[in-house]
Amino acid sequence: MRICSIDSTLNEEIPAKQIAKLIDSDIAKVEINIVKKKVGTIGLARKTLEKSHVLFITLPKKKITQEIYIELISYIDIGGTLILTLPSPPWEDLGRFFEEMINELGITFQHKYVYGLPKIPSDTRLIGSTLTITKAHVINYNKNKDFLKENGIKKYLPLALMDKKPVILAGYKRRGKFIIISSPEIFTDINSDFLNRLVLLSSQKIDYKLSEENVKYNIGKSNFSLQLQHGSLQSYLLSLFHYNFMFLQEEVEFTSKEDLTERIYNVLVKQNVIGDLPSKQDIFKIIDKFKIK
């Protein structure tokens, strides 16, 4: 089973055991490992990181040494996923190597809080989950092409938005990923579903973004077509089209192919268009082409 490590060596404000309780090993398909510092060693040593598919560091209070900085950046570059929740700026207490680390990741925080409930973009595989965070910092990220090339960053992807700006941000760096979270409220019971989905996708090395190459299928001989994109767990993004016009896009929880067929049919019969509507059998044939997970 893949390993999800939760660090406790940097004097994190939120106890590792609290985070561990929010992650269901059966749902996220991981084994939880709490990283503890042993005498004469650094807690985030290379041997520990090599075994970790996902690593949580949550509101660190202890200074990041040069050795830890190098290990963490190397961990991301060779394929690990670092999930880093940061305290509010300024970050002077975390030392200059912490500053170097976030500079290399290309992120900064806006000092003022934004308030409200975050939205999860519908083009991510985290559709179907909700977040309850009342305040967070907007995360800025470096868009300079020379910087991205020099630091091996392929792209950034917002995973949660408040005021249409990212408060949870994923970055793809060389072979690995990092996720920056700007609010400790993420670690509450109500957000357990989101965290489980996030860990599941991270540990399985699945892209957080829905595929842009997903096939759009014509339904029978009609002018209607549909697209069904798998998120995580039982969540799907359903898109319905008439010719090239999308008239419906919504999240659906999959129960059975028959139920989904009925749901789509009930939407189509309400459309006031010229031409024949597809039958339930036509719709079912299309749904049957998808690999429902």
pLDDT at 277: 86
Q: Which of these ranges, 132-141, 147-156, 250-259, has the smallest mean pLDDT?
A: 250-259
The model's confidence at residue 246, banded by pLDDT at 50, 70 and 90, is: very high
What confidence score (pLDDT) does residue 242 get?
92
Angle at 201 between CA 199 and CA 204, to 5 degrees: 100
What percent of the chain is helix, strand and coil (3-state, nearest 5)? 30, 30, 40
Q: Please state, in angstroms and rounded to a whole number, the distance separating the CA atoms of residues 84 and 104.
A: 14
* Confidence at 155, pLDDT banded by 50, 70, 90: very high
* Joined tokens for residue 144: 């300079």
pLDDT tier at 194 (50, 70, 90 boundaries)? very high
pLDDT at 68: 93
Q: State residue 284's pLDDT score.
A: 93
- Cβ atoms of 19 and 56 within 8 Å: the answer is yes
State which amino acid sits at residue 214: N
And the tokens for 123?
A: 């083009």
Q: pLDDT at residue 40 above 80? A: no
Structure-token match 């792209």, residue found: 155
Amino acid 39: pLDDT: 59
Any idea where the domains of the chain sit in the sequence?
2-203, 217-287
User: What was the pLDDT predicted at 137?
Assistant: 97
- The answer on pLDDT for 2 being more than 90 is yes
Mean pLDDT over residues 101-116, rounded? Answer: 95
Q: What is the mean pLDDT of residues 229-245?
A: 91
pLDDT confidence bin for 100, thresholds 50/70/90: very high
d(CA 236, CA 122) in angstroms, rounded, equals 10
Predicted TM-score of the model (pTM):
0.91
Residue 148 has pLDDT above 80, yes or no: yes
**What pLDDT shows up at residue 292?**
64
Spatial separation of the C-alpha atoms in residues 91 and 242, rounded to whole Å: 52
pLDDT of residue 25: 96
What integer is the mean pLDDT of 51-68? 94
What gap in Å lies between CA 31 and CA 117, rounded to an integer?
Answer: 31
Alpha-carbon span 115 to 131, nearest angstrom: 13
Q: Which residues pair with 33 in a beta bridge?
A: 5
Q: Which is higher by pLDDT, 133 or 128?
A: 133
CA distance 104 to 181: 17
How high is the pLDDT of residue 205?
87
Neighbours of 221 (CB within 10 A): 9
- DSSP label at residue 172: E
Tokens 């690999």 label which residue?
291
For residue 5, what are the contacts with CB-CB under 8 A and spacing of at least 6?
33, 34, 35, 48, 49, 51, 52, 54, 55, 56
pLDDT average, residue stretch 137-166 = 96
pLDDT class of 41 with cuts at 50, 70, 90: low
pLDDT of residue 203: 95
Give the percent of the chain with pLDDT over 90: 79
For residue 177, the model assigns a pLDDT of 97
Third-level CATH fold of 2-203: Rossmann fold (3.40.50)
Q: Is the pLDDT of residue 145 over 60?
A: yes
Mean pLDDT of the chain: 92
Assigned token pair, 126? 């985290």
Estimate the crossing angle of helix 66-77 against helix 96-105, to 10 degrees. Answer: 20
pLDDT > 70: percent of the chain: 98
The answer to whether the Cα torsion of 15, 21, 27, 33 is positive or negative is: positive
Average pLDDT over residues 130-135: 95
Angle (CA) 5 235 156, round 5°:
55
Residue 287 phi/psi, 5-degree rounding, is -60, -35
Tokens of 68: 């830890």
CA distance 10 to 285: 54
